[in-house]
């Protein structure tokens, strides 16, 4: 069958697609159950996928449980995101070696094989696009990120179910993605006529689809997929108002910042789990002789006190100022910087907050006009 971008087909299982990717030499990264959470690790076959699992998420709560046994994709996002592959938590920037009259720099890049991300959710496509804008900001390009990104294929999985923490519908980032993928799967009717809608998003995706056992998608297949997306959207109870960005401006002295700072532990879980947070620190490590030194970039968080340190002390001493930085950056100043929200509504920061702070609630408090 000759596939082209924009086409849709039906396939009976994700297994042949994973087989085709592995066969074509792709490193395939996808969801797996690791220590009771969904993690994105290398897949060898479809059997590595956490089939039959679903998740139970709430503010400060996440648990994987038994789901419908046949369903491949009934869980949504876990604590990890794809940023760990495109923007690793620790990366050697370069190293240097002492010479008689100075030093030599070695900036050879780490190997990044061509990699297929399998099971990217719509909000995660949006998150990757937000980081694309950060790391190619019009003035500078993060060459390592660009290299990884260019070697990455995206196989999306459209959401047919939302967790209680999801609010992508109000952020226009899900539960259904129209673009941003090479291929996209929608799981249809796992309890009955179980099948998958396969959408072709790019020429590269089309080439991969060509070898697969496909049939043309019918009107009924499309209708079932639309219903699945509508069902997922209708499940969402959390939301952020569309005009949240301007409503957070000029609220620096709102008493809500102190109130939330009293609950917040400043553990930085939210920034580490957040798929768009991009802040980093640099570390220098030396061997014992001092003849070899390395510079490493490591994830950092605006919740740490040192983050804003300048001579004489940190700019953001007050925990409330640090929470304010996180929330206003995500939801408001990100628009000024990059023309979009820094939040894609994935709900990770809500589920993974040890004290259950909910960004949608806190934003609503600050946006109210009593500040």
Partner 1 sequence: MDAANAQDPMVPHRYRVAEVWEELDDVTTMSLLPVDGPPRPFKAGQFNMLYAYGVGEAAISISGDPAVPERLIHTTRNVGRVSAALTRLRAGDMLGVRGPFGSDWPVEDQKGRHMLFVAGGLGLAPLRGAVCQALANRLEYEEVSLLFGARSPDDLLYRSQVAEWGAFSGANVEVTVDMAARGWTGHVGVVTTRLERILGTSDPANVSVFICGPEIMMRFTAQDLTELGVPASRIWVSMERNMKCALGFCGHCQWGPDFVCKDGPVFRYDQIGKRLAIREI
Ligand X SMILES: Cc1cc2nc3c(=O)[nH]c(=O)nc-3n(C[C@H](O)[C@H](O)[C@H](O)COP(=O)(O)OP(=O)(O)OC[C@H]3O[C@@H](n4cnc5c(N)ncnc54)[C@H](O)[C@@H]3O)c2cc1C
Query: Could you say whether residue 311 binds ligand X (CB under 6 A)?
Result: yes
Binding flag, residue 150, ligand X (CB under 6 A): no
Q: Which is nearer to ligand X, 99 or 139 (CB)?
A: 139
Beta-carbon contacts of 230 under 8 Å, excluding residues fewer than 6 positions away, are none
Residue 276 CB neighbour total at 10 angstroms: 25
C-alpha separations of 80 from 22, 145, 368 in Å: 23, 18, 32
Q: Which does 146 bind (CB under 5 to 8 A by kind): ligand SF4, ligand X, partner 1, none?
A: partner 1
> Nearest-5° angle of CA 232, CA 123, CA 302?
130
167/338 with CB nearer partner 1: 338
* DSSP string of 66-84, one letter each residue: E--TT-S------S--THH
Cβ–Cβ < 8 Å for 204, 155? no
CB crowding 103-117: b at 16 or more within 10 Å, else e: eeeeeeeeebeebbb
CB neighbours (10 Å) of residue 315?
A: 12
d(CA 186, CA 294) in angstroms, rounded, equals: 45
User: Which span sits near partner 1 by CB under 8 A: 13-21, 103-111, 161-169, 227-235?
Assistant: 103-111
Encoded one letter per residue, x for contact with ligand X by CB under 6 A and - for no contact, window 262-301 reads ----------------------------------------
Smaller CB distance to ligand X: residue 38 or 302? 302
Q: Is 143 near partner 1 (CB under 8 A)?
A: yes
Helices and strands in the chain, H and E counts: 14, 16
Shorter beta-carbon distance to ligand X: residue 7 or 300: 300
Question: What are the distances in angstroms from CA 34 to CA 43, 65, 246, 287?
Answer: 13, 13, 40, 34
| Residue among 78, 175, 201, 345 that touches ligand SF4 (CB under 6 A) | 345
**Is residue 358 a contact residue for partner 1 (CB under 8 A)?**
no
Q: Does 310 bind ligand X (CB under 6 A)?
A: yes
* Choice from 96, 154, 260, 344 touching partner 1 (CB under 8 A): 96
Nearest-5° Cα angle at 144, 143 to 149: 95
With binding defined as CB under 6 A, does residue 313 bind ligand X?
A: no
Torsion, Cα 217 223 227 229, to 10 degrees, reads 50
Q: CB 189 → ligand SF4: shortest distance, Å?
A: 29
CB of 274 to ligand X, least distance (A): 23
Is 310 near partner 1 (CB under 8 A)? yes
> Which residues are at the interface with ligand X (CB under 6 A)?
309-311
Chain residues binding partner 1 by CB under 8 A are 93-94, 96, 98, 101-103, 105, 107, 109, 134-135, 137, 139-144, 146-147, 150, 252, 278-282, 284, 286, 290, 293, 295, 297, 300, 302, 307-311, 315-318, 321, 324-325, 329, 333, 336-337
């Amino acid at each position: 069958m000759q596939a082209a971008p924009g086409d849709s087909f039906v396939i009976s299982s994700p297994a042949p697609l994973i087989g085709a990717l592995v066969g074509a030499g792709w490193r395939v990264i996808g969801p797996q159950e690791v220590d009771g959470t969904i993690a994105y690790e290398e897949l060898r076959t479809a059997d590595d996928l956490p089939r039959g699992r679903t998740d139970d998420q709430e503010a400060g709560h996440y648990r994987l449980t038994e789901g419908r046994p046949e369903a491949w994709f009934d869980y949504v996002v876990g604590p990890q995101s794809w940023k760990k592959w495109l923007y690793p938590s620790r990366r050697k920037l370069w190293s240097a070696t002492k010479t008689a009259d100075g030093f030599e720099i070695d900036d050879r890049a780490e190997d990044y094989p061509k990699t297929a991300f399998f099971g990217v959710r719509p909000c995660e496509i949006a998150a990757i696009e937000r980081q694309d804008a950060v790391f190619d900001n019009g003035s500078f390009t993060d060459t390592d990120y660009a290299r990884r990104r260019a070697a990455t294929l995206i196989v999306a999985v459209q959401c047919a179910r939302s967790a209680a923490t999801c609010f992508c519908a109000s952020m226009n980032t899900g539960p259904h993605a129209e673009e941003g993928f090479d291929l996209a799967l929608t799981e249809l009717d796992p309890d009955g006529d179980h099948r998958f809608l396969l959408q072709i998003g790019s020429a590269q995706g089309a080439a991969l689809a060509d070898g697969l056992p496909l049939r043309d998608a019918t009107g009924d297949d499309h209708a079932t997929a639309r219903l699945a997306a509508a069902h997922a959207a209708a499940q969402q109870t959390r939301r952020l108002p569309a005009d949240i960005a301007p409503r957070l401006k000029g609220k620096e002295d709102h008493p809500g910042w102190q109130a939330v700072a009293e609950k917040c532990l400043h553990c930085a879980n939210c920034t580490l789990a957040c798929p768009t947070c991009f802040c980093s620190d640099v570390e220098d490590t030396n061997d014992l002789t001092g003849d070899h030194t390395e510079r490493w970039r490591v994830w950092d968080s605006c919740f740490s006190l040192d983050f804003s340190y300048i001579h004489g002390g940190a700019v953001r001493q007050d925990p409330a100022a640090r929470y304010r930085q996180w929330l206003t950056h995500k939801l408001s100043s990100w628009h000024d910087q990059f023309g979009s929200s820094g939040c894609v509504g994935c709900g990770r920061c809500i589920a993974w907050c040890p004290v259950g702070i909910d960004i949608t609630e806190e934003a609503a408090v600050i946006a109210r006009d009593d500040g």
